[in-house]
Structure 1
Amino acid sequence: MKRAAATYVEETGFGFWFLQSHVWQHHVLRVAIDDLKGLIDGPLPTAPVLLDAGCGQGKSFALLAAAFRPARLIGLDADPHSLACSRAEAERQGLEVQLVASDCAAIQLADASVDVLFCHQTFHHLVEQAQALAEFWRVLKPGGLLLFAESTKFYIDTWVIRWLFRHPMQVQKSAEQYLAMLRDQGFQFATRNVSYPYLWWSRAKDFGLLERWGLRRPKPFGQRDETLVNVVARKPLEPAYR
């Protein structure tokens, strides 16, 4: 099947299966959405147009609908097989979802047409990251929110993840580098809008087992290489003058 992105890096069979799993939906997606929702300043947007950029198999749809009550929910992905799964998932959940076969670096939506853009564990799959971020900026309305949740290179570049999944290794970044990309694009956020989850599944060397068994002390924040970063960033109402 033809993919919407020439630079698309196809997932492994295990990876595709994992994105259908209970662990993915409840220990990864649900936790990230709850965390991101808590990082938003002020009241939640009312009846937003919500875009899930890199929706995969649509396991986020019901969670996003419950968390944000969007007036319009859009799922975007470059992989037609994933979009077919997303369509089936939306039907199973009884949700109306507009599905778009598109590259994140060339989103087929109008300028300033989206209130909330959810990008969860998608960016580390993208080769053209700067172009994708510029597209996120373009389609978001002034004042719109980018809900950005990513794994960093300290998680992706480990033997177990390299063995089980497939990623473009040359574009992987640290948490600080991802945050710098967002700022360079013009997005605004404060320390209170950022979190660094240290979840069991992100402990790539042993999934936190040694700490759970009391054989290793967990490293405190500031003394470890962060494996995850969540941030709620806002496109300002007025353009920034540099």
Structure 2
Amino acid sequence: MDRAAPTYVEETRFGFWFLQSHTWQHHVLRVAINDLLRLIDPPLPERPVLLDAGCGQGKSFRLLADAFQPVRLIGLDADPHSLDCARAEAGRQSLDVELIASDCAAIRLPDASVDLLFCHQTFHHLVEQEKALAEFSRVLKPGGWLLFAESTKAYIDTWVIRWLFRHPMHVQKSADQYLGMLRRQGFVFDERNVSYPYLWWSRSTDFGLLERWGLRRPKPFGQREETLVNAAVRKPLEAAAR
């Protein structure tokens, strides 16, 4: 099957199944969107153009539509089969979604055409990460928001994730490294715009079972290697003059 990205790393059968599951939609996507909403400095853009970069099977569409009330909702993915599933999902939800088969490193949208760009659990799949961030900046309007939610190397490199899923391991990064990439690309944000969720499904090695059974105490913030990072970062307004 032709892919829109030459560097696309095909997901496992388990991974493709999991991305259409109730767990993914309600315990991963929904939780991330709620957290990112909290991280955005008010006011929210009114009737925004919203791009879901790496939309997969479209399970985010209803959640994004309810949270942001976009005037235009665009889903982008490099996998044609995922886009077929996303088209069917949009139909089931009675949503008007524009779907684009595209690489995140070469987005087929005009400059400064997007108000909000949602990139959830997509970046660790991308080989050309710097190019993708440059494209995100290009398509965002000055003052537009990139809603960035990622699993870090500390999670992706665990045995269970490597066994169940497929990722380009040489590009995995820590939370600090991802935030550094965002800053180098010119996105602006403060501590209030960043969170480090410590959710049960992201606990390395055991999904937090030992902690739930009282066999191990959870490590406090600052004493653990973060497995998740969420950030609401903004393209500077002065970018309009460049």
Length-normalised TM-score, structure 1:
0.98
Q: Given that residues 142 and 240 in structure 2 are in contact (C-alpha distance below 8 angstroms), is that contact kept between their aligned partners in structure 1?
A: no
Q: Please state if 1:33 is matched with 2:33.
A: yes
- Structure 1 residue 240 displacement after superposition: 10
Deviations for 1:87-136, whole angstroms, at most 9, x for unmatched residues?
00000000000000000000000000000000000000000000000000
Q: Distance in 1 between matches of 2:28 and 2:159?
A: 20
Q: Distance in 2 between matches of 1:100 and 1:141?
A: 19
Partner SS, residue 55 of structure 1: coil
Q: Please state if 1:229 is matched with 2:229.
A: yes
Q: What's the counterpart of residue 193 of structure 1?
A: 193
Output the amino acid matched with 2:140. L
Q: What's the counterpart of residue 152 of structure 1?
A: 152
Q: Please state if 1:78 is matched with 2:78.
A: yes
- Structure 1 residue 42 displacement after superposition: 1.2
- Structure 1 residue 202 displacement after superposition: 0.2
Q: What's the counterpart of residue 12 of structure 1?
A: 12
How many residue pairs get matched? Answer: 241
Deviations for 1:56-76, whole angstroms, at most 9, x for unmatched residues?
000000000000000000000
Structure 1 runs not aligned, ≥5 long: none
Q: What's the counterpart of residue 162 of structure 1?
A: 162
Q: What's the counterpart of residue 105 of structure 2?
A: 105
Partner SS, residue 23 of structure 2: helix
Partner SS, residue 30 of structure 2: helix
Q: Please state if 1:65 is matched with 2:58.
A: no
Q: Distance in 2 between matches of 1:62 and 1:16?
A: 19
Q: What's the counterpart of residue 114 of structure 1?
A: 114
Output the amino acid matched with 1:58. G
Identity between Structure 1 and Structure 2 (%): 82
| RMSD (Å), alpha carbons | 1.0
- Structure 1 residue 204 displacement after superposition: 2.5
Q: Given that residues 186 and 240 in structure 1 are in contact (C-alpha distance below 8 angstroms), is that contact kept between their aligned partners in structure 2?
A: no
Superposition misfits of 4+ residues, deviation over 6 angstroms: none
Structure 2 runs not aligned, ≥5 long: none
Matches within 5 A, 1:206-225: 206-225=206-225
- Structure 1 residue 199 displacement after superposition: 0.2
